[in-house]
Amino acid sequence: MANMRMDKNPMPEQDPMIRSANFDEVALGYSPEAAMDEARRCLNCPNSPCRGGCPVSVRIPEFIAKVAEGDFATAYEIITSTNALPAVCGRVCPQEKQCEARCVRAIKGESVAIGRLERFVADWHMAREDKAPLTPPASNGHRVAVIGSGPAGLACAGDLAKLGYEVTVFEAFHKAGGVLVYGIPQFRLPKEIVAAEIAQLEALGVRFITNAIVGKSLTVDELFEDGFEAVFIGSGAGLPQFTHVPGENLLGVYSANEFLTRVNLMKAYREDYDTPIKRFKRVAVVGAGNVAMDAARVAKRLGADSVTIIYRRGRDELPARKEEVEHAEAEGIAFELLNNPAAILGDEEGRVTGIELIRQALGEPDEKGRRRPVPVEGSNWVLDVDAVIVAIGTSPNPLIRSTTPNLVVTKKGGIEADEGGRTSREGVFAGGDAVTGAATVILAMGAGKTGAKSIDEYLKNK
Ligand SMILES: Cc1cc2nc3c(=O)[nH]c(=O)nc-3n(C[C@H](O)[C@H](O)[C@H](O)COP(=O)(O)OP(=O)(O)OC[C@H]3O[C@@H](n4cnc5c(N)ncnc54)[C@H](O)[C@@H]3O)c2cc1C
């Protein structure tokens, strides 16, 4: 008999006052009892609408039924039959717009907490001491190169390795994981989790070469000359966009990517690391997506007294996940909605002293249906800050496209690829943010899996 409780079992969390001064994980995870209780809220709908909302079609009601029975091992097998990174996805997927948005229980009350259950099962598995060690399957003798070690590259590498391919991942940074390690902060996604997923791939025989920038250290064509028979490009969209208002070159202006990379990947928040980062007192973050929320919450944890999100639209249009906005607010992040930067102001030494803002009103909807912000004349005002972090979006880096002849790209600079991830170059496949522009972990992972399938077909028929 289903548990007819209307709301989700609450997620235990660190207290906001305590967590805003540390980098430990905010959400603490369900206990087995809470997970089983939550799983019993699932109605096991025969047509599984939730599954249709998942870009990698996790068999959601099936795994949840196993959680309800307390059979967590089978639940894990069911999830991982389609999702290679469940501990990651359970933490960072926008479930409220995907699987949970389609849950029948959400018609009256809250949806089943599918993401929390996925995380529970993945963490339960990770903590298990009696796991059978993974061993690499017998090699089929074919070599594939994967460029980039974010979710797209990892998913592609994992699926190919399981099929017996000899996979080498080339990563520009000194550590594998893509945005999962350099962008999303430790308090949302502990780096040990990403490291464990990467260790699993290594156990399957995947080789990682870090500090290898394709387009600089070596080119796509050189990969083929070296004997790789296919290449998957999963190089993401790490090139920051800027506002181009006057003053953006002042000291104290960061792109969110640089700021987060210093802190997350290069551990600037830890005394035992040499990475320099200035601890600012009053910080403005321009933008209101997940990246902006992460940058704001990191700035707070580094000791800022005030952190303000500047967003040109209103509350209803905030692009970040609802949970991230709520967490940010609980931690004391301020929001200046309906405001847009007009200039960044500085002192005679070139250091940021403030940000000039202009109030906005919402006009007619744009092509995406979102109401367009319109500046209110004469409404300029100044917010005193000593740092400005710009988080208004990123695009694919031009390095690979500019060093790979005949690789067709889209108007927005993404690599053009068909639904199977095939590009204009024979043997070259692509997926994730490198193709779509900045999107989500699960979409990148799905594209990596699709790419692996296409590479397998291509090499079998070659
Ligand atoms: C701060 C932040 C927070 C986010 N939060 C969420 C969230 O909560 N939920 C969610 O679903 N999504 C979130 N996203 C988006 C999500 O992380 C991305 O959509 C996803 O990581 C894209 O995966 P990818 O594999 O395509 O690229 P990436 O994760 O960007 O990985 C690409 C990798 O390729 C490497 N690379 C680039 N160029 C080269 C080269 N020339 N040679 C070798 N290697 C190269 C890069 O160093 C990087 O490691 C967030 C993004 C950011 C930046």
DSSP E strand boundaries for 172-227:
207-209
- Whole-number Å distance, alpha carbon 9 to ligand 1 midpoint, is 31
Residue type, 244: H
What whole-number distance in Å separates Cα of residue 338 and Cα of residue 146?
42
- Closest atom of ligand 1 to 235 CA is 34
Residue type, 171: E
Average pLDDT over residues 219-230: 97
Identify the pLDDT of residue 338. 97
What whole-number distance in Å separates Cα of residue 99 and Cα of residue 278?
40
- Whole-number Å distance, alpha carbon 150 to ligand 1 midpoint, is 5
**Which has the closest alpha carbon to 333: 295, 366, 365?**
295
Q: How far is residue 416 from each of residues 2, 234, 261, 422, 448, measured CA to CA in Å?
A: 47, 12, 28, 8, 15
- Whole-number Å distance, alpha carbon 238 to ligand 1 midpoint, is 7
Residue type, 75: A
98-138 confidence digits (pLDDT tens): 999 999 999 999 999 999 999 999 999 999 888 888 888 99
Containing H/E element for 282? Answer: strand 282-286
For a mutational test of ligand 1's pocket, the pick from 179, 293, 392, 443, i.e. the residue with the most ligand atoms closer than 8 A to its C-beta, is 179
Residue nearest to atom 37 of ligand 1 (CA): 235
**Which has the closest alpha carbon to 244: 412, 390, 395, 411?**
390
52 pLDDT exceeds 70?
yes
Q: Residues lining ligand 1, judged by CB closer than 6 Å?
A: 92-94, 147-153, 170-173, 178-179, 183-184, 212-215, 234-236, 238, 260, 290-291, 294, 397, 399-400, 432-434, 438-442, 444
Structural domains in the chain, CATH included, are 16-127 (1.10.1060.10), 143-233+396-439 (3.50.50.60), 242-392 (3.50.50.60)
Inter-helix orientation angle 60-69/32-39, to 10°: 130
436 pLDDT exceeds 80?
yes
350 pLDDT exceeds 80?
yes
Residues 6+ apart with CB under 8 A from 69: none
Identify the pLDDT of residue 268. 67
Q: How many other CB atoms are there within 10 angstroms of residue 319's CB atom?
A: 16
Residues 6+ apart with CB under 8 A from 127: none
For a mutational test of ligand 1's pocket, the pick from 25, 56, 184, 265, i.e. the residue with the most ligand atoms closer than 8 A to its C-beta, is 184
- Whole-number Å distance, alpha carbon 249 to ligand 1 midpoint, is 25
For a mutational test of ligand 1's pocket, the pick from 180, 209, 401, 441, i.e. the residue with the most ligand atoms closer than 8 A to its C-beta, is 441
- Whole-number Å distance, alpha carbon 259 to ligand 1 midpoint, is 15
Identify the pLDDT of residue 322. 87
**Which has the closest alpha carbon to 435: 422, 453, 449, 454?**
422
Containing H/E element for 26? Answer: none
Residue nearest to atom 27 of ligand 1 (CA): 236
3-state secondary structure 62-112: HHHHHHHHCCHHHHHHHHHCCCCCHHHHHHHCCHHHCHHHHCHHHCCCCCC
303 burial level (CB within 10 Å; 0-12, 13-18, 19+) = exposed
308 pLDDT exceeds 80?
yes
Of the two residues 294 and 270, the one the predictor is more confident about is 294
What whole-number distance in Å separates Cα of residue 268 and Cα of residue 43?
46
DSSP E strand boundaries for 352-410:
352-365, 371-375, 381-384, 387-390, 394-395
343 pLDDT exceeds 70?
yes
- Whole-number Å distance, alpha carbon 89 to ligand 1 midpoint, is 14
- Whole-number Å distance, alpha carbon 384 to ligand 1 midpoint, is 32
Containing H/E element for 346? Answer: strand 339-346
Q: How far is residue 308 from each of residues 104, 116, 237, 285, 378, measured CA to CA in Å?
A: 37, 29, 25, 6, 22
Q: Among 79-88, 273-282, 446-455, which stretch is predicted with the lowest mean pLDDT?
A: 273-282
Where does the pLDDT of residue 367 fall: very low under 50, low under 70, confident under 90, or very high at 90 and above? confident
Identify the pLDDT of residue 2. 78
Average pLDDT over residues 147-163: 96
- Whole-number Å distance, alpha carbon 108 to ligand 1 midpoint, is 36
- Whole-number Å distance, alpha carbon 43 to ligand 1 midpoint, is 35
Quick one: what percent of the chain has pLDDT higher than 70? 99
Give the residue ranges of DSSP H helices in 304-432: 322-330, 399-403
3-class secondary structure, 403: helix
What whole-number distance in Å separates Cα of residue 186 and Cα of residue 2?
36
Full-model pTM: 0.94
- Whole-number Å distance, alpha carbon 181 to ligand 1 midpoint, is 9
Question: Looking up tokens 């090499």, which residue turns up?
Answer: 459
Residue nearest to atom 5 of ligand 1 (CA): 290
238-283 confidence digits (pLDDT tens): 999 999 999 999 999 999 999 999 998 877 677 777 776 788 999 9
Residue nearest to atom 14 of ligand 1 (CA): 440
